[in-house]
A = this chain, B = another copy of it.
Amino acid sequence: MHDFDLKLYLAEHKRMVDEALAESFPNPTGLEKKVLEAIRYSIFAGGKRLRPILCLAAAEVVGGSSHKVMPVACALEMIHTYSLIHDDLPAMDNDDFRRGQPTNHKVFGEAIAILAGDALVTEAFGLIARLPVKDGIDPERILQVIRLVVKAAGYRGMIGGQTIDLECENRTVSLATVEYMHVLKTGALISASLEAGAILGGGSPEQVALMTRYGHHLGLAFQITDDLLDIEGDAELMGKQPGSDAAKNKMTYPALLGVARSKEAAREHVEEALKALDSFDDKAEPLRAIARYLLGRKA
C-alpha cells in the first residue's frame, strides 16, 4: 500500500472534522455572543486538526467507526485551541499573531480571550459526555476517555508542561527536563488522542497500549521537527517568522543538541513510532504515513 495518498487522507479527514466542529457551535446570539464569536474565531483559524485526525485514525486502525468517535475528536481540538488562546496571552507567551492572524486577545481583548479558553475546555468535556450511549458505546468507556483526557490536559499533562516551560524560561536546563516538559505539554494530548480513538473504536488493551506508545514517539518527533522548523523553516509556508524560539530564550532541541543530532533524534522517534504499528495491518497505513511525513516536514 505504498501508493497511500496521505495528502488526500488528511484533507478528507480535516474536512470531516471542520464540519463536525461547525455543528458543535451555534451561531452567536444573545448577550453572551461575544464569547462564542471569540471561540469560533480561534476554532476556525486554520488549524491542521492533527489531534482529531489521529483520534479518528486510531479508531479506524482497531476496526472502529471514525464517525462514532467524532465528538471526542472535536473535543481534543477544542482543548488544543483553548491551550493556544491562553498560551498567547500577554501574561504567558505574549504573542500577537498565530498562523498569520491576530491572536484571540488582540481581537477580542484579554478578558474575553480568557473566557473563550475557559469555555472551550469546559464544553469539550460536555461533548465527550454526550457520546451516544444508545449507539452502543459503553458508558464506562466514555468515562475512561474523560479520565485520560483530564490526565493529558490537566496538571499531570499539558498544564504541568506549560508550568515547567514558564519556570524554565531564561534558565539553562538539562535535555531530560526539556524532554519531560514536551512530553507533558504536547505529547500527552497527542498520545491521549490516539488512546481515546483506540478505546472508543473497540480496541483491545494491547492495541490501546500500542497506540499510546506510537503517540508518545510521534509527539516527541513532532516537537523536535517543530523546533527544527523554527531554525530552518520557510516563513511563508509556516505563517510565522522562524527564529522566535531563540528570540525568547526558549529551551529547544537544536539549542541543546545541535541541528544534526536533533534530526537524528527525530528519526529515531519516528522509527520507534513505526515499530509500535508493526502488528497492525494496512489500516495503520495513515498513521505510518503521518510518522514518515514528519521527517520531511516543511510547515
Q: Which residues of A contact B (CB under 8 A)?
A: 30-32, 34-36, 39, 82, 86, 89, 91-92, 109-112, 114-115, 117-119, 121-123, 125-126, 129-130, 133, 139-140, 142-143, 146-147, 150-151, 153-155, 159-164, 166-168, 177, 180-181, 184
Contact = CB atoms under 8 A, between A and B. Distances in A.
A144 to B, nearest CB: 8
Q: Which 5 A-B pairs have the closest CB atoms?
A: A126-B150, A91-B110, A32-B160, A139-B139, A129-B146
A92 B113 CA distance: 11
A19 B18 CA distance: 44
Contacts of A181: 31
A35 B114 contact: no
A178 to B, nearest CB: 11
Given A92-B114, A109-B91, A111-B92, A35 B122 contact: no
25 contacts: A32-B155, A32-B159, A32-B160, A32-B161, A34-B163, A34-B166, A35-B159, A35-B160, A39-B155, A92-B111, A92-B114, A115-B159, A115-B166, A118-B121, A118-B159, A121-B122, A122-B154, A122-B155, A123-B150, A125-B146, A125-B150, A126-B146, A126-B151, A139-B143, A143-B143
Given A32-B160, A122-B153, 5 more contacts: A32-B159, A91-B114, A112-B166, A114-B114, A118-B118
A126 B129 CA distance: 12
Query: Which among A121, A126, A142, A153 has the highest number of chain B CB atoms within 10 Å?
Result: A126
A32 B109 contact: no
Nearest to A122: B154
B177 A31 contact: yes
Given A114-B89, A139-B143, A159-B118, A125 B125 contact: yes
Contacts of A30: 160
A79 to B, nearest CB: 8
Contact of A32 (B82, B147, B150, B164): B164
A118 B117 contact: yes
B166 A111 contact: yes
